[in-house]
Structure 1
Amino acid sequence: MRNYLLVIFCSISFCIFSQNETALIPKPQSIELKSGNFNFDETTTVYFETEFEIAGNILNEFLQNGVGFQLQSTSKNKAKIVIEKDASQPSEGYFLDISDSKIIIKAIDSSGAFYAVQTLRQLLPIALEQKKTKENTSFTLPQLTVSDFPKFPYRGMHLDCARHFFDKEFIKKYIANLALLKMNYFHWHLTDDQGWRIEIKKYPKLTSKGGFRDETLIGHYNDQPQKFDGKRYGGFYTQEDIKEVVAFAAKYNITVIPEIEMPGHAQAAISAYPELGCTGKQIPVATTWGVFEDIFCPNEQTFTFLENVLSEVMPLFPGEYIHIGGDEAPKIKWKNCAHCQQLINDLNLQDEHGLQSYFIQRIEKFVNSKGKKIIGWDEILEGGLAPNATLMSWRGMQGGIDAAKQKHNVIMTPNSHAYFDYYQSDKSDEPLAIGGFLPLKKVYSFNPIPKELNKEEAKYILGAQANLWTEYIPNEQQVEYMIFPRILAMSEVTWSGPSQNLEKEYPEFLSRVENFMPRLDALSINYANHLYEIEGKISKSNGNVFYELTTPTKGKEIRYSINNVESKVYSNPILIEKDSKITANVFKNGEKVGRDFSEKIIYHKGITANISLNVPPNPTYAAGGKEALINGIQGSDKRYGDKEWLGFWGDDLEITIDFGKEIEINSANLRFYDAPGQWIHSPKEVLIYCYNEDGKKVSYITKYFKKNEPNISTVKVELSENYILKTSILQIRIPNYGTIPDGQKGAGHKAWTFIDEIIIE
């Protein structure tokens, strides 16, 4: 539910500014607020140089739609609004000065002038976004001075239209929203196993057959048994549609980058033209999600096909980049293909990874010959990076670090901070998502420049991009819900620059987000509002356990109840001394806002202990830190991405729990997430070591796991069946499942281990 009341303005004077009058997103590099206002009405005139015609036209279009009038053009000396060239301004930067008599915008390029207009737009009344305001409206703007420029030249947002298809009008709305936030690249994912979405006139079956699948998976991939809707699904963009979208994007200063996947994620293409695969057999367009073994075969027929496809794609997109994917390409078909093995031998390649490198480098040469450059996901590093390739680092930051050290341009898009298909709240009523946990604060905390790079190497980091994969996002409303408000944080990271003091700057950012939400309402954007949610966490002090409640935005009241006792206003951490259930709500001006909050705490013998790990959890799945394993709170039974689950990729895990003194313990209860379809496997065994009362080391081993829920495996290790066990330290060793075998999702890759609360009784 939205908690805002939008006012429809008509024939009145606005004065919308208060203490939040400069709540701009992304935040400018420098802003100085002055006293007084500028009066803006239909008599206001404008002058802009020819080079800045797009910026001037965008401003006029916005006013025409919002208040029914356009600014009349006049000479520079007479104009109330002047947009002029200034060679001293940085690229894409601008200077904006609003006095009592003039608005002056200075920029060195059209991009800078455009972004100045977007800032001016955010200073104008929100009602103008509704396109309902009557004519003859006047309003005031605050007097201020802004000097602004972007931290990074690449500020991108992605949308996967292969898994689910979105029509061109929504794509244009999507692009316009990116422009409002000063983002400048739209990465359009157009082909994958589940659908080919771009018309290729030389190969019509790519869309007539490859553009449609027989049915679509219902629910999560891990659900057993899997269910399907039985409905044919698909769609594609004609080349005329593409031209229309690209022209619209250019008007909004956004470059569109198409992605044509290769050599993997090619099942839709192979379904249309089976000769492109290594077996030549007919296969369907994929109806489930994941990674598939049928990939392009690196023969001359395939290269001819791809060159013909790219020859039709490249003229449609005037930008310098073509994205060729390069990720998640299983090599099993290549291993069993006589042609592939002969090619590896003939080219003196080391293995199939070398063959993929040859594949990518050959495509790159063709793309370069047409005056374009390629971008690929970080798997293109495997076997050797193509000479002129730009790399998108998605499996964490390491791929980007390695590429930058090799002097390749890098766009940082790690799943730890940039995958907006992950859950943004750990509340159980969130829309179904692929998994993971990426709250707004974590996006805001992102720094695209890794500390491992020196100043010279850091120059190769072009910027960052957020990605939205749409396996579990079937409609436009959910697209917006998953993107907003997280895109506000990403826009600030890439334009304003990474936060230098997170705990100080994040609350100020949230204040601006809260005041930005009425603009999103006016734009009919279905954003996720988690600003009034409650977050609870365990804290420990002097052997005591406390539970702390917080809510993101300031000026709100939290009321709570413990074990159904009378509700109280929260002011201090709550002492926890037994199993407890906390319920709470947020109140704003005496009225309840946000969703109900509830948490169960298991007060077990390990909750006051100290814990250490031999390896840290993967950054993508480390929200709760090591303390999450003994904080008395269990993770969700249905998803592994909340802050209570810790994920480890391929590591043998050793956990040491130090009780600080000798205590009597009876058992250890462990829970593991088990979802082979997402490369997550329970361990094959658990080993526990402790010391008996004689000081001798005692070991326990168990290989017997119980499947309590569809995705949950549990094991209870009895530690004192025949005697009383007293120990001060408990060590738990959890060997990784190992390499995923052929025939399973992720074959050949390391398995993930996910573990949550360890309950000591």
Structure 2
Amino acid sequence: MKRTRPTLSPALVLLSIFFLLSGCNKKSNSHFVSEVNIIPAPQSIQHQDGSFIITEETTFSSSEEFKYANQFFQKYILNGTGISLKTIADPEKADIHFKTDTTLPAEGYRLTVSNNGILLEGADKAGVFYGVQTIRQILPPDMETAMVREKSTAEIPAVTITDAPRFAYRGMHLDVARHFFPKEFIKEYISYLAMLKMNYFHWHLTEDQGWRIEIEQFPRLTTHAAFRDETLLGHYNDTPQKFDGQRYGGFYSKEDIKEIIAYAEAHHITIVPEIEMPGHAQAAISAYPELGCSGEQVPVATKWGVFENIYCPNQKTFAFLKGVLTEVIELFPGEYIHIGGDEAPKTKWKQCAHCQKLIRDHGLKDEHELQSWFIKEIETFINSKGKSIIGWDEILEGGLAPNATVMSWRGTQGGIEAAKSGHKVIMTPTSHAYFDYYQSERTTEPLAIGGFLPLEKVYGFNPIPEELSPEEAKYVLGAQGNVWTEYMKTKQQVEYMIFPRMLAMSEVVWSGPTENFGEDFAHFVNRVESFHQRLEAMHVNYANHLYSIKGEVIKRKEGVYYKLSTPTSGKLIKYMLPNGNLTAYNEPFPIGGLRTQIKAMVYKDGQVVSDTFVEDITFHKGMFAKINLNTHPYKSYSSGGVEALNNGIKGSDSRYGDSEWLGFWGDDLEVTIELDTAQELSWISTSFFHAPGQWIYAPNQVTLLISKNGIDYQIDQTLDLNPDATRVNAILDIDTLTTKFIKLKIPNFGTIPDGKQGAGNKAWTFIDEIIIQ
């Protein structure tokens, strides 16, 4: 479905300017003037002549059916302007009226603002609430401060907005098990979702590193499993690993959870609690060792990753999990219980006599089918309580539970398989939905797990894979952004990682995926720039990369050029070359030499608003070569394309996810290089990323082959690699020769061995610039 963009006519733009100017003739703190700047974008906006001004005399009428919308609206106006709206019973006499219109789509609304008042019609309670959120965003950002010291009026342009969501499931996730966040922040987080018309909060409550929910039947879950002895410092891949030596933890009492559920209900948010199984269970097993296959005491995990201590499918475990789930189901009113199902190493099950007997007794093929049997047992119990399960896409392995909804995170393939088999799907692939990934390539970014997910990539996400037919696509309920908190210790860090990317995700799931990315993203970015004022008024610690600079090498017949750009319009970029002056950028400029460093900055209103952008370019004989690969890089790690291998720019030494590294999952790689002319060569080099904690392994060897005709290749040499750092350099010195055709054979590391993170999975290969001299 095409995302329809509201277009502001010149008349409406002039109207906004008039309001701004008219506001200047009044006391600055006595008259709020509004603009039309809404995220997610409504399906339709039509401007009208005039405006409506909320004053002390403004009257309000609405049905008690809309109590949450009514309460939110009245409190928002009171906090923002000091005006207490006069509630009256007769809607015909009210200046502001909320009412039902059942002809609108589910969760949809129609907002009509005229000189005479405001009429908000909703398909249902949620629709009216979302209409209130639109009114909120039309009102000035200053009203978010809730610090009015004298009564003010607020002026709203006359508009008609008709709107409804594209997807039924519009979610955000938060992991509170790696790092714990107090209930006050959980409520803040829920309020962010509501502002953006998102309706599901996926609350990840249990992990290897901590259990966060009170269960009365099992008190050691909160006295023991909720706390770890210490926490990893720095990144998991740092060698040697260091720890802080400080006991850490926390949990939510049942009263806390009831309070949060009530708050979510008042914001039309459904909470999906996640109780992980059979993997990510070390904290629970630490509290109750009989839940593991060995029965041995293990600690609550103190570092990140995947652990082999998973629930044993025995009677004690099922009694425990059913007891836990019974209390969870009694607390949470929503339809779904998330049971995890991801990253469960089967090492302990392979060694467990009881598990092997289960496999034989039930005619199962292997441990993967044993996990499927485990999940089906749990699903039967949850279904008996009137609830449905959601699981990560690993629950597809060994056979999918009959009524399960699949949350597809390892790309979209799991979701495709589930939809084709008639199962509901929620899309949340790492490529577009993991907000724990870096959002900028600048070196000043706070520590993150890895990867690279800029704002534009989130915005360009389409939850409906092209492989699905229209009938199959109906099983895709929607999408969500995921926030894993290994490297987020504070609410400020969480806010920095979710904003503004959550704005983009909200627009994807409410307005629908774009079919005109260039035009739509430019419009979206301008709205985000304005939305920053609202976030500032709310004291949200958002990330501002709208003034960042992107550089690109452009190859032309006459030479190499360099292009600069920044996301927001109307900004001046100035750049400087070595020994040169600061110059205003207008178009791609020529570069050359053995090495060139480019520096650039963005200016707004004459002031520098960006960090200094620095790009180092190494010129070499392969820059104009044609490069072919025997396999495509993985979609999540291909943003630079094959051109990234010979554009003269090296990737980061510490991040594998930037646009210069290409990632391949489990594939042997062959790189065929055809130089523009036959040239005399002395050496060839490239680099590989090596981070076993993230399943990334440098290859064991690289083989160089040479050809005179591009058909017959002979091995020149094979280089063995012994990784001892994150960047593994492969330099192949060759006897001086003249050739035009080169090939590199790079075998994948293979299957990750037992005892390592990701054991049993294929390893990743990441390759950087190929330099030829």
TM-score in terms of structure 1 length: 0.97
Question: How much does 1:694 deviate?
Answer: 12
Please name the residue that 1:675 is paired with.
691
Please name the residue that 2:339 is paired with.
324
Please name the residue that 1:527 is paired with.
542
Q: Conserved in 2, the CA contact under 8 Å of 1:182 and 1:495?
A: yes
Please name the residue that 2:608 is paired with.
592
Inter-partner Cα distance in structure 2 for 1:696 and 1:492? 52
Which of 678, 697, 706 is the equivalent residue of 1:662? 678
Is 2:253 aligned against 1:241?
Answer: no
Is 2:623 aligned against 1:607?
Answer: yes
Which of 726, 729, 734 is the equivalent residue of 2:741? 729
Question: How much does 1:120 deviate?
Answer: 0.3
Which of 45, 48, 52 is the equivalent residue of 1:34? 48
Inter-partner Cα distance in structure 1 for 2:600 and 2:301? 44
Shift in alpha-carbon separation, 1:153–1:696, aligned structure 2, 3 A? closer
Which of 730, 742, 757 is the equivalent residue of 1:745? 757
SS at match of 2:633: coil
Shift in alpha-carbon separation, 1:696–1:398, aligned structure 2, 3 A? closer
SS at match of 1:42: coil
SS at match of 1:681: coil
Inter-partner Cα distance in structure 2 for 1:646 and 1:557? 32
Which of 16, 21, 25 is the equivalent residue of 2:33? 16
Please name the residue that 1:4 is paired with.
none
Please name the residue that 1:83 is paired with.
98
Moved more, 75-84 or 413-422: 75-84
Which of 427, 435, 452 is the equivalent residue of 1:412? 427
Superposition pairs of residues 216-231 of structure 1, within 5 angstroms:
216-231=231-246
Please name the residue that 2:68 is paired with.
54
SS at match of 2:729: strand
SS at match of 1:594: coil
Please name the residue that 2:380 is paired with.
365
Which of 668, 671, 693 is the equivalent residue of 1:652? 668
Q: Conserved in 2, the CA contact under 8 Å of 1:544 and 1:608?
A: no
Which of 705, 710, 713 is the equivalent residue of 1:697? 713
SS at match of 2:398: coil
Please name the residue that 2:4 is paired with.
none
Is 2:87 aligned against 1:73?
Answer: yes
1:232-261: per-residue Cα shift (whole Å, max 9, x none)?
A: 000000010000000000000000110000
Inter-partner Cα distance in structure 2 for 1:548 and 1:11? 43
Is 2:518 aligned against 1:506?
Answer: no
Which of 284, 287, 309 is the equivalent residue of 1:294? 309
Inter-partner Cα distance in structure 2 for 1:352 and 1:543? 60
SS at match of 1:733: strand
Inter-partner Cα distance in structure 2 for 1:573 and 1:403? 46
Inter-partner Cα distance in structure 2 for 1:379 and 1:530? 34
Question: How much does 1:696 deviate?
Answer: 6.3
Inter-partner Cα distance in structure 1 for 2:157 and 2:445? 39
Inter-partner Cα distance in structure 2 for 1:673 and 1:582? 25
Question: How much does 1:554 deviate?
Answer: 0.5
SS at match of 2:92: coil
1:126-148: per-residue Cα shift (whole Å, max 9, x none)?
A: 11100111232112100000000
Q: Conserved in 2, the CA contact under 8 Å of 1:667 and 1:717?
A: yes
After TM superposition, what 4+ stretches of structure 1 lie above 6 angstroms from structure 2?
Answer: 693-696
Moved more, 641-650 or 343-352: 641-650
1:14-49: per-residue Cα shift (whole Å, max 9, x none)?
A: 3635xxx32100000000122211111121111112
Code of the residue aligned with 1:14 in structure 2: it is H
Is 2:366 aligned against 1:354?
Answer: no
Moved more, 123-132 or 145-154: 123-132
Is 2:701 aligned against 1:685?
Answer: yes
Q: Conserved in 2, the CA contact under 8 Å of 1:156 and 1:466?
A: yes
Is 2:588 aligned against 1:573?
Answer: yes
Code of the residue aligned with 1:586 in structure 2: it is V
Give aligned-pair identity as a percent. 57
Is 2:217 aligned against 1:205?
Answer: no
Which of 643, 664, 679 is the equivalent residue of 1:627? 643
Code of the residue aligned with 1:642 in structure 2: it is D
Q: Give the total of aligned pairs.
A: 747
* Cα RMSD after superposing both structures: 1.4
Code of the residue aligned with 1:632 in structure 2: it is G
Question: How much does 1:730 deviate?
Answer: 1.4
Inter-partner Cα distance in structure 2 for 1:539 and 1:591? 29
SS at match of 2:611: strand
Inter-partner Cα distance in structure 1 for 2:515 and 2:548? 25
Q: Conserved in 1, the CA contact under 8 Å of 2:708 and 2:740?
A: no
Superposition pairs of residues 32-431 of structure 1, within 5 angstroms:
32-74=46-88, 75-431=90-446
Moved more, 253-262 or 51-60: 51-60
Please name the residue that 1:3 is paired with.
none
Code of the residue aligned with 2:142 in structure 1: it is A
Inter-partner Cα distance in structure 2 for 1:651 and 1:680? 12
Q: Conserved in 1, the CA contact under 8 Å of 2:686 and 2:769?
A: yes
Question: How much does 1:60 deviate?
Answer: 0.6
Inter-partner Cα distance in structure 2 for 1:695 and 1:40? 77
Question: How much does 1:622 deviate?
Answer: 1.2
Inter-partner Cα distance in structure 2 for 1:730 and 1:110? 65
Runs (5+) with no aligned partner, structure 1: 1-6
Shift in alpha-carbon separation, 1:688–1:62, aligned structure 2, 3 A? same
Q: Conserved in 2, the CA contact under 8 Å of 1:11 and 1:134?
A: no
Question: How much does 1:711 deviate?
Answer: 0.7
Please name the residue that 1:25 is paired with.
39
Which of 541, 557, 564 is the equivalent residue of 1:542? 557
Inter-partner Cα distance in structure 2 for 1:226 and 1:185? 37
Inter-partner Cα distance in structure 1 for 2:319 and 2:435? 36
Question: How much does 1:564 deviate?
Answer: 3.6
Shift in alpha-carbon separation, 1:237–1:728, aligned structure 2, 3 A? same
TM-score in terms of structure 2 length: 0.95
Inter-partner Cα distance in structure 2 for 1:757 and 1:693? 24
Shift in alpha-carbon separation, 1:707–1:580, aligned structure 2, 3 A? farther
Inter-partner Cα distance in structure 1 for 2:218 and 2:698? 45
